[in-house]
Amino acid sequence: MTMSQAVVPSHLEELIVALRCLPGVGPKSAQRMAYHLLQRDRAGALRLSQALELAVGTIKHCSKCNNFSEHEICAMCLSPKRDNSLLCVVEMPADLLMMEQAQCYRGMYFVLMGRLSPLDGMGAKELHLDRLVKRVQEHPCELILATNFTVEGDATAHYLATLLKSQNVKVSRIARGLPVGGELEQVDSGTLARAVLERREVSA
Amino acid sequence: MTMSQAVVPSHLEELIVALRCLPGVGPKSAQRMAYHLLQRDRAGALRLSQALELAVGTIKHCSKCNNFSEHEICAMCLSPKRDNSLLCVVEMPADLLMMEQAQCYRGMYFVLMGRLSPLDGMGAKELHLDRLVKRVQEHPCELILATNFTVEGDATAHYLATLLKSQNVKVSRIARGLPVGGELEQVDSGTLARAVLERREVSA
């Protein structure tokens, strides 16, 4: 859609273009967002402007776990309450949040900030795997791979397992199978096949 | 979703909250957007921050047509090329853009910036209908109502027609019927019924 200069003020057009940096926002959504902000929520727009500037200016990556942090080392890595002998590798900060919400884990984390995906330019270097290896060398611990069960997540886990085998550490991956409350009738056949393949012995 | 202070840096959490001022953006999307910006597009985030501040600071409403404008009176209202004897009423700036793209109209506009919707707090005052009436009084012209063919758009058009009848001006509404290239077999029955009801005599 072309918008003539006479119809759309230039600063409005700039805002519409700028909004398209948000993932999943196309030309129509960007236009709707810009109109909404100017018409209904100018205070919100200013707050967003300031939040963006502040976040970009202050948020970097924790040098230990690679998660977003305002400090050189994040609060979680500094916490004395976390178990130093366990290291869980996740793809994104959102995955770390899910792990924390599940309240099943009190160890440390390493956030890849992505997954192996050579076509998208995500290789071992972009995922800072050298840092992960160095950390394991300096402080041997048990590794739990919690990448997603997607093709790329599987490939990343496989690559990490191969990479870390030489470090002589215990490496495991979180279990795949039927969800809690799941019924055989409703689960997809791929998951069911995996659940049969990765069955566990039942202690009598 | 609650996010503990230890896991999410406060400026990141503020950004996620601020992003929710955008229409159609819930907690999950806001989180994805914030991560994307910090991880992949910090330049875009800064550009968006500046565009928001600039737009909020400079864009107001044209005192004549009520459209967004950086000036007291917008370029379109000042243009000598537009036909002063026609005034088209639309709901939103996006509708004005569509009219311009159709290249079927060279008159002036009045942008309601909404539609009559008492439950959402949109009444005659919020739509600046007093300004529209004053304009028609000062400069009598033919009015073309181009509000949407929704329940609220219909109500708005009906209200405007009643309001402006006393001003002794010609008021029309854009036609409703089958779309160009439309087939009877595919059109919904409501549209077809309307098209029959509002049929036009064919000159032989």
Q: What is the pLDDT of residues B54-82, one digit of tens each?
A: 999 999 999 999 999 999 999 999 999 99
Write down the pLDDT at residue B46: 96
Report yes or no on A63 lying in a domain.
no
Assigned domain for B144 exists: yes
A86 and A145 belong to one structural domain: yes
Both B48 and B75 in one domain: the answer is no
Inform me whether the pLDDT recorded for B204 exceeds 70. Answer: no
pLDDT reported for residue A126: 85
B76 and B53 in a single domain? The answer is: no
* A89 and A124 co-located in one domain: yes
Q: Does residue B49 sit within a domain?
A: yes
Is residue A51 domain-resident?
yes
| A157: confidence class by pLDDT, cuts 50, 70, 90 | very high
Tell me, yes or no, whether B192 and B94 share the same domain.
yes
Instruction: State the pLDDT confidence band at A203, using cuts at 50, 70 and 90.
Output: confident
**Which amino acid is present at B72?**
E
Q: CATH number of the domain that B27 lies in?
A: 1.10.8.420
Residue among A55, A94, A113 whose CB faces B11 most closely: A55
Number of Cβ atoms within 10 Å of the Cβ of B52: 27
Same domain, yes or no: B112 and B82: yes
pLDDT band at B2 (very low <50, low <70, confident <90, very high): very low
Least confident of A12-16, A24-28, A150-154, B101-105: B101-105
Does any domain span residue B186? yes
Average pLDDT over residues B35-54: 94
Please state, in angstroms and rounded to a whole number, the distance separating the CA atoms of residues B165 and A123.
69
Selected residue with higher pLDDT from A172 and B203:
A172
- B21/A48 CB distance under 8 A: yes
Q: Which domain holds residue B109?
A: 68-201
ipTM: 0.77
Same domain, A136 and A187: yes
Please check whether residue B34 is in contact with residue B13, taking contact to mean a CB–CB distance below 8 angstroms: no
Q: What is the mean pLDDT of residues A128-137?
A: 90
Between positions 4 and 33 of A, the ones with CB within 8 A of B are 4-12, 14-15, 17-19, 21-24, 29, 31-33
Region label for B121, one of left (φ > 0), alpha (ψ between -120 and 50) or beta (otherwise)? left
Query: Which of A18, A33, A58 represents a domain boundary (last residue)?
Result: A58
Q: What is the pLDDT of residue A204?
A: 66
For residue A52, is it within any domain?
yes
- Find the range with the poorest average confidence among A15-19, A33-37, A72-76, B176-180: B176-180
Please check whether residues A34 and A90 belong to one and the same domain: no
Last residue of one domain, picked from the residues B27, B58, B89: B58
The answer to whether residues A88 and A31 belong to one domain is: no
Among B30, B58, B86, the domain-final residue is B58
For residues A38 and A72, state if they share a domain.
no
pLDDT averaged over every residue in chain B: 89
**Residue at B153: amino acid letter:** G
C-beta atoms surrounding A16 within 10 Å: 24
Asked if residue A76 and residue A24 are part of one domain, the reply reads no
Provide the pLDDT for residue B6.
58
- Chain A: give the shortest CA distance to residue B132, in Å: 18
| Orientation of helix B27-40 relative to helix A42-58, angle to 10° | 40
Same domain, B18 and B101: no
The answer to whether B114 touches B127, Cβ cutoff 8 Å, is yes
Judge: A59–B22 Cβ closer than 8 Å, yes or no. no
- At residue B7 the predicted structure's pLDDT band, cuts being 50, 70 and 90, is confident
Interface probe for A, chosen from B28, B40, B49, B73 (most Cβ of A below 10 Å), is: B49
Is residue A114 within 8 A of residue A122, CB to CB? The reply is: yes
Q: Is residue B63 part of a domain?
A: no
Is residue A76 a part of any domain in this protein?
yes
Selected for mutation to probe chain B from A17, A22, A111 (highest B CB count within 10 Å) is: A22
For residue B60, the SS3 value is: strand
CATH number at residue A75: 3.40.1360.10
Give the pLDDT band of residue A1 (cuts 50, 70, 90): very low
Say how many domains are in chain A: 2
Written as one letter, the residue type at B108 is: M
> Each residue of A41-75: b (16+ CB within 10 Å) or e?
bbebbbbbbbbbbbbbeebebbebbbbbbbeeebb
Q: For the segment B159-173, what is each residue's pLDDT rounded down to a tens digit?
A: 999 988 888 889 998
Per-residue pLDDT averaged across B19-34, rounded? 94
Taking CA–CA distances from A58, the nearest residue in chain B reads: B11
